[in-house]
């Protein structure tokens, strides 16, 4: 399985700057494609990370449960009380988490729909990672997608399928242009993408707020900062209980895999990601690769934005982007910046998000628990040595970490 | 081996000793029954009834020290006073409102309160689908609501008018200021009422008190309900321009404005809740607070649903029904001014004076 994990171990890198050589530093290490068991440690590490996170989460559930806390006070008199209460709390929370996210076809559909924008935006971050760029700007790119797809969706009057396609293209193109601008700035002026993407997020948020204060983006007869929803003709149709966006997300993942592993452009992206100086020496146009890399990353974030506007038919509001742009970074990290990994991580985060709501609704567990679980999983994945220590796994050379070569690269 | 044995011994001794600590509540209950006076301090909660009241927040969450939190207090009061069960979901993003309402419906909620205009569409859609559940929505009203949806709105321009008059009458520099969290109707209604109150004072007394931060159409906004530094920066600017009363309408971001007022030793007016309770550290700079009793409205809506008296008639909080009010005036306010405020309040209630 996992045809997308493979990448040749990077060639020994020459430290061009030479000021601060870190010989032991792990580059983007990935499994050897020819060795079928080489991805196993990665899989085991991720599974252990999730398990450890669930155990810590269980402790938090117990500590936030009133009955368990009351029983804790007389733990030594009636220990069974405490353990019963603790078990009840853990069981009700986690069973609600599972039932709420994948318990029925309906819940599964919600999970898939919630995961779709995370997968798309995560793919954008992953793609940029592979080109050595740390794209923090998925939020801003999505906001531009909202503006374009939304505007086309609720003002233009077109026949059903065409309207949806035009709105979709508008959202993707707007995201691509906003992302591409970051790449262009880096290629032309050397402006660091971490700084520019963060600043562009603020810029996009302010532009969205400004647009929503104008009549063109407001509902008729209302001064609230909320746009009308897009026309029905512009919404994604549904395919087997989920909207078309979910299918598009999986297609996008396949496309990114093909691009990275099978195309010339993808080779250039990966080469520049591994070592821009060597790539330049080899005759590649590094500026072009940076620009195109960010353009594509922005397009994927724009695609993510259409999931909400055209898929869920959400109205534009100042807070519509939510945390998706930042969760995309963790999704990409958890997925080791590979398309398949990103899809799986996106599905996991989608399930945690939907299941988190079910935990609140039925078990009264605070919503923060789902977020804590997400954070813990990423923490343990980002620190493989910690997990290996916990499980006494043999330290192999193949720790899978993703590293953006942004600073000084 | 020796070490293990020692540890085992310590553990068993500890267990035996600690067994004396702590009491199970059942034991306490037995004790309490013999001395009933011990528990008389807390009012007994109402008897549990088979009714579930639920609430969905907007993406601000129930701990926003603002309208989500006040609405949530209403549901908790209902749990205490009416004995209803509760359920709640805090929304993380705008796209999940519909799913979150559905999640509560599937938990068997009889009444669901949604907080904020952003949930307007999702609430309406859910109400059409689940006709046996009563929905109420804070700060929003539909032109044509289904039978099971109640809008909860507040004429906060009425009490803000009184606050504007009070500010103008108290100001010595002849300049007062207001700032908002965002240019949306639920915020600007306060600022507009405040503006008219200042104008009323100018007309009545032939004075020329200037208002900074709102001219009836546009004004000063933090564009953020969280960031205190933004509220503080705008308030400092206004105080620099001579304002000696500031009225922030920006949720927690407005706390920064109170800090600015405290630093510069000028007066302020708090919003939504009684500042002397919710932001007690600033009580000494507060002239009064413009109270918007969302908790009362939410509790009333839940009670109506419980007693089968629910209607889709929009609830409008006014000075008359106590849905909006001014908190107790500070002792620094002249009794003459206080009397005048009371007089204006009566005029607004009787309809003699109209606040637009």
Given pLDDT bands bounded at 50, 70 and 90, which one contains residue B19?
A: low
Smallest Cα distance from B243 to chain A, Å:
27
Model pLDDT, residue B17: 65
Report the residue of A120, A138, A211, A224 to disrupt the B interface, i.e. the one with the largest count of B CBs within 10 Å: A224
Cβ distance of A320 and B23 shorter than 8 Å: no
Work out the pLDDT band at B278, boundaries 50, 70, 90: confident
pLDDT band at A221 (very low <50, low <70, confident <90, very high): confident
Mean pLDDT, residues A43-49: 82
Q: How do residues B44-59 score in pLDDT, each as one tens digit? A: 566 788 999 999 998 8
Contact criterion met (CB < 8 Å) for A229 and B107: no
Mutate to test the interface with B, among A66, A72, A74, A114 (most CBs of B within 10 A): A74
- Our measurement of the distance from residue B42's CA atom to the centroid of its chain's CA atoms, rounded to an integer in Å, reads 24
Q: What is the distance between the alpha carbons of residues A153 and A232, in angstroms, rounded to a whole number?
A: 9
Write the residue in B24, B88, B98 that is nearest to A81 by C-beta: B24
The token pair at A317 is 């509001």
Residues of A in contact with B22 (CB under 8 A): 73-77
In contact, B221 and B186? CB cutoff 8 Å: no
Q: Is residue A183 very low, low, confident or very high in pLDDT (cuts 50, 70, 90)?
A: very high
Q: What is the pLDDT of residues B161-213, one digit of tens each?
A: 999 999 999 999 999 999 999 888 889 999 999 999 999 999 999 989 999 99
Using only C-alpha atoms, what is the Rg of chain A? 23
Structure-token pair, residue B268: 């302020």
What is the predicted pLDDT for the residue at B46? 67
- Residue A286: count of CB within 10 angstroms of its CB: 18
Beta strands at B111-115 and B85-89: parallel, antiparallel or unpaired: unpaired
Contact between A76 and B18 using a beta-carbon 8 Å cutoff: yes
Cβ contact A77–B21 (<8 Å): yes
Tell me the pLDDT tens digit for each residue of A229-282. Answer: 999 999 898 877 888 999 999 999 999 999 999 999 999 999 999 999 999 999
What is the C-alpha to C-alpha distance for residues A285 and B212, in angstroms, rounded to an integer? 56
Nearest-5° Cα angle at A76, A70 to A78: 65
| pLDDT in the model for residue A7 | 43
Select from B57, B63, B99 the residue whose CB has the most chain A CBs within 10 Å, as the one to mutate to test that interface.
B99
Full DSSP string of B308-350: T----PPEEE-TTTTSEEEPPPPTTS-HHHHHHHHHHHHHHHH
How many Å apart are CA A401 and CA A383, to the nearest integer? 8
Q: How many CB pairs under 8 A join A and B?
A: 108
Supply the mean pLDDT for chain A: 83
The angle subtended at Cα A97 by Cα A92 and Cα A99, nearest 5°, is 90
Give B5-74 as a DSSP string: HHHHHHHHHHHHHHTTS---HHHHHHHHHH-GGGGTTSPPPPPP-S-EEEEE--TT-TTSSSHHHHHHHH
Nearest to B222 by CA among B243, B246, B251: B251
Are A222 and B185 in contact (CB < 8 Å)? yes
Residues of A with CB under 8 A from a CB of B: 70-71, 73-78, 81, 100, 110, 114, 206, 209, 213, 222-226, 229, 308, 312, 314-315, 317-324, 353-354, 357-358, 360-362, 364, 366-367
Q: Which residues contact B123 (CB under 8 A, 6 or more apart)?
A: B97, B101, B114, B135, B137, B140, B149
Would you state the pLDDT for residue A342? Answer: 94
Q: Is B31 exposed, middle or buried (0-12, 13-18, 19+ CB in 10 A)?
A: exposed
CA dist A220 and A339 (Å) reads 42
Which structural domains are found in chain B, ordered by start? 52-154+296-306+309-317 (3.40.50.2300), 157-291 (3.40.50.2300)
Of the candidates A71, A229, A360, which has its C-beta nearest B89's C-beta?
A360
> Does A322 contact B22 at a Cβ distance shorter than 8 Å?
no
Please return the burial class of A379, using the count of CB atoms within 10 Å of its CB with bins 0-12, 13-18 and 19+.
middle
Q: Is the pLDDT of residue A24 over 60?
A: no
Q: Which residues of A touch B182 (CB under 8 A)?
A: 209, 225, 318
Locate A39 and state its tokens: 């991805």
Residues of A in contact with B226 (CB under 8 A): none
- Residue A357: which of B99, B118, B185 has the nearest Cβ? B99
Nearest CA in chain B to A363: B87
**Interface with A, mutate which of B57, B63, B95, B118 (most A CBs under 10 A):** B95
**Contacts (Cβ under 8 Å, ≥6 apart) of B253:** B181, B222, B224, B225, B226, B227, B228, B230, B231
- Per-residue pLDDT, averaged over A72-88, amounts to 81
Are the beta carbons of A324 and B93 separated by less than 8 Å? yes
Helix (H), strand (E), coil (C) string for A193-214: HHHHHHHHHHHHHHHHHHHHCC
pTM (predicted TM-score): 0.81
pLDDT in tens, A317-361: 988 888 899 999 999 988 888 999 999 999 999 999 899 888 888
Residue of chain A whose alpha carbon sits nearest to that of B183: A213
Strand-pairing partners, residue B87, are B54
- Write out chain A residues lying below 8 Å of B90, CB-based: 360, 366-367
Neighbouring residues of A276: CB distance < 8 A, sequence distance ≥ 6? A132, A286, A405, A409
Burial class (CB in 10 A: 0-12, 13-18, 19+), B254: buried
Q: What are the two backbone dihedrals, phi and then psi, of residue A24, each rounded to the nearest 5 degrees?
A: -85, -5
Closest by Cβ to B94, choosing from A75, A224, A317 = A317
Distance from CA of A243 to the nearest CA of B (A): 14
Q: How many CA atoms lie within 13 A of B31 on its CB side?
A: 8
Closest CA to A14 of A205, A274, A197, A343: A274
**Residue B116, min C-alpha distance to chain A (Å):** 11
Q: Residues for chain A: how many in total?
A: 409
Question: Which of A82, A232, A361, A374 best tests the B interface by mutation, with the highest count of B CBs <10 A?
Answer: A361
The answer to whether the Cβ–Cβ distance between B117 and A360 falls below 8 Å is: no
Interface of B with A (CB under 8 A): 15, 18-25, 54, 58-59, 61, 87-90, 92-96, 98-100, 103-104, 106-107, 117-118, 120-121, 182-186, 188, 223
Query: Do residues B340 and B169 touch, judged by C-beta distance below 8 A?
Result: yes
Instruction: State phi, psi for A7 to the nearest 5 degrees.
Output: -160, 145
A178 pLDDT band, cuts 50/70/90, is very high
Identify the closest residue of chain A to B14 by CA–CA distance. Answer: A76
What does the pLDDT read at residue A117? 95
- Residue whose pair of structure tokens reads 């200042």 in the numeric block: B198
Q: Using CA atoms in the order B138, B142, B148, B152, what is the torsion angle rounded to 10 degrees? A: 30
For residue B2, the model assigns a pLDDT of: 65
| Contact call for residues A225 and A318 (beta carbons, < 8 A) | yes
Enter the tokens of residue B297.
């409205």
* B219 phi and psi angles, rounded to 5 deg: -175, -160
Distance of CA A24 to the CA centre of its chain: 29
How many beta carbons lie within 10 A of that of residue B38, not counting itself? Answer: 11
Residues B103, A357: C-beta atoms closer than 8 Å: yes
From B185's Cα to the closest Cα of chain A, the distance in A is 6
CB A316 within 8 A of CB A147: yes
Q: Which residues of B touch A77 (CB under 8 A)?
A: 19-24
Res B234 pLDDT > 80: yes
Asked if the Cβ–Cβ distance from A361 to B103 is below 8 Å, we say yes
Q: Is the pLDDT of residue B318 over 70?
A: yes
Chain B contact set for A78 (CB, 8 A)? 24
Question: Which pLDDT score, from 0 to 100, does residue B178 have?
Answer: 95
- The domain limits of chain A are 105-364
By DSSP bridging, strand B245-249 and strand B267-272 are parallel
Helix (H) or strand (E) holding B125: helix B120-129
Residue B140 has pLDDT above 80, yes or no: yes
Residue A171 has pLDDT above 80, yes or no: yes
pLDDT tens-digit map of B258-276: 999 999 999 999 999 898 8
Question: CATH number for the A105-364 domain, one of 3.40.50, 1.10.3470, 1.20.140, 3.90.25?
Answer: 1.10.3470
Q: Do residues B202 and B209 touch, judged by C-beta distance below 8 A?
A: yes
Contact B95 A322 (CB under 8 A): yes
User: How many secondary structure helices (H) and strands (E) does chain A include?
Assistant: 15, 2
The confidence band for A2, taking pLDDT boundaries of 50, 70 and 90, is very low
- DSSP 8-state symbol, B214: B
Nearest to B86 by CA among A89, A97, A362, A100: A362
CB B74 within 8 A of CB B38: no
Q: pLDDT band for position B26 (50/70/90)?
A: low
pLDDT at A18: 40
Give the DSSP letter of residue A5: S
**pLDDT interval class at A46 (50, 70, 90):** confident
Quote the tokens at residue B123: 């609430």
| More confidently predicted of A45 and B325 | B325
Strands (DSSP E) found in A141-183: none
């Amino acid at each position: 399985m996992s045809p997308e994990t493979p990448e040749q171990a990077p060639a020994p890198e020459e430290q061009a700057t030479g000021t601060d050589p870190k010989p032991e530093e792990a580059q983007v290490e990935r499994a050897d494609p020819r060795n079928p068991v080489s991805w196993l440690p990665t899989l085991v590490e991720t599974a252990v990370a999730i398990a450890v996170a669930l155990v810590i989460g269980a402790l938090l559930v117990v500590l936030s449960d009133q009955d368990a806390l009351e029983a804790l006070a007389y733990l030594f008199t009636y220990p069974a009380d405490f353990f019963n209460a603790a078990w009840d709390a853990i069981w009700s929370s986690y069973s609600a988490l599972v039932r709420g996210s994948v318990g029925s076809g309906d819940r599964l559909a919600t999970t898939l729909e919630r995961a779709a924008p995370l997968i798309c935006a995560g793919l954008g971050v992953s793609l940029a990672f592979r080109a050595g760029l740390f794209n923090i700007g998925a939020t801003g790119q999505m906001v531009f997608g909202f503006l374009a797809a939304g505007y086309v969706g609720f003002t233009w009057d077109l026949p059903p399928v065409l309207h949806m396609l035009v709105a979709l293209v508008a959202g993707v193109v707007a995201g691509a242009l906003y992302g591409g601008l970051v790449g262009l700035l880096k290629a032309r002026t050397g402006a660091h993408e971490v700084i520019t993407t963060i600043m562009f997020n603020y810029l996009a948020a302010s532009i969205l707020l400004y647009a929503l204060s104008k009549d063109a983006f407001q509902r008729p007869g209302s001064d609230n900062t909320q746009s009308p929803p897009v026309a029905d003709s512009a919404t994604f149709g549904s395919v087997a209980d989920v909207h078309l966006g979910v299918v598009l997300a999986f297609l996008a993942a396949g496309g990114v895999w093909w691009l990275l592993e099978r195309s010339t452009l993808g080779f250039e992206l990966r080469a520049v990601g591994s070592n821009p100086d060597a790539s330049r020496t080899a005759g590649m146009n590094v500026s072009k690769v940076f620009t195109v890399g960010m353009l594509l990353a922005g397009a994927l974030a724009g695609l993510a934005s259409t999931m909400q506007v055209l898929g869920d038919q959400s109205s534009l509001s100042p807070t519509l982007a939510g945390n998706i742009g930042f969760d995309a970074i963790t999704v990409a990290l958890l997925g080791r910046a590979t398309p398949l990994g990103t899809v799986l991580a996106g599905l996991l985060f989608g399930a945690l998000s939907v299941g988190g709501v079910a935990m609140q609704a039925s078990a009264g567990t605070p919503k923060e628990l789902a977020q804590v679980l997400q954070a813990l999983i990423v923490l343990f994945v980002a620190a493989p040595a910690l997990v290996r220590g916990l499980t006494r796994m043999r330290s192999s050379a193949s720790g899978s970490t993703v590293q953006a070569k942004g600073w000084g690269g | 081996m020796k070490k293990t044995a020692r540890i085992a011994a310590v553990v068993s001794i500890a267990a035996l000793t600690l067994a004396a600590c702590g009491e199970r509540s059942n034991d306490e209950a037995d004790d309490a029954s013999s001395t009933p006076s011990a528990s008389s301090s807390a009012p007994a909660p109402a008897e549990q009834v088979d009714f579930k009241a639920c609430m969905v927040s907007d993406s601000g969450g129930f701990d926003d020290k603002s309208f989500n939190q006040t609405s949530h207090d209403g549901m908790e009061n209902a749990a205490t006073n009416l004995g209803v069960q509760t359920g709640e979901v805090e929304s993380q993003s705008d796209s999940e409102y519909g799913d979150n309402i559905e999640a509560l419906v599937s938990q068997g909620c009889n009444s669901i309160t949604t907080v904020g205009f952003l949930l307007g569409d999702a609430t309406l859609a859910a109400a059409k689908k689940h006709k046996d559940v009563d929905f109420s929505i804070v700060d929003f009203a539909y032109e044509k609501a289904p039978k099971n949806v109640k809008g909860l709105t507040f004429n906060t321009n009425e009490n803000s008018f009184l606050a504007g008059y009070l500010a103008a009458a108290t100001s010595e520099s002849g300049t007062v200021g207001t700032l908002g969290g965002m240019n949306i109707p639920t915020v600007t209604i306060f600022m507009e009422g405040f503006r008219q109150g200042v104008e009323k004072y100018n007309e009545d007394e032939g004075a020329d008190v200037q208002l900074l931060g709102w001219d009836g159409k546009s004004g000063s906004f933090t564009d953020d309900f969280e960031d205190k530094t933004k509220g503080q920066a705008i308030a400092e600017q206004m105080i620099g321009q001579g304002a000696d009363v500031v009225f922030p309408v920006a949720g927690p971001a407005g706390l920064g404005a109170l800090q600015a007022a405290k630093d510069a030793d000028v007066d302020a007016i708090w919003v939504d809740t009684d500042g002397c309770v919710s932001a007690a550290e600033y009580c000494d700079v507060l002239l009064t607070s413009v109270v918007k009793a969302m908790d009362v409205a939410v509790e009333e809506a839940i009670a109506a649903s419980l007693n089968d008296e629910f209607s889709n008639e929009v609830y409008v909080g006014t000075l008359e029904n106590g849905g909006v009010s001014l908190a107790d005036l500070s002792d620094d306010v002249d009794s003459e001014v206080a009397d005048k405020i009371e007089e204006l309040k009566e005029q607004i209630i009787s309809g003699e004076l109209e606040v637009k």
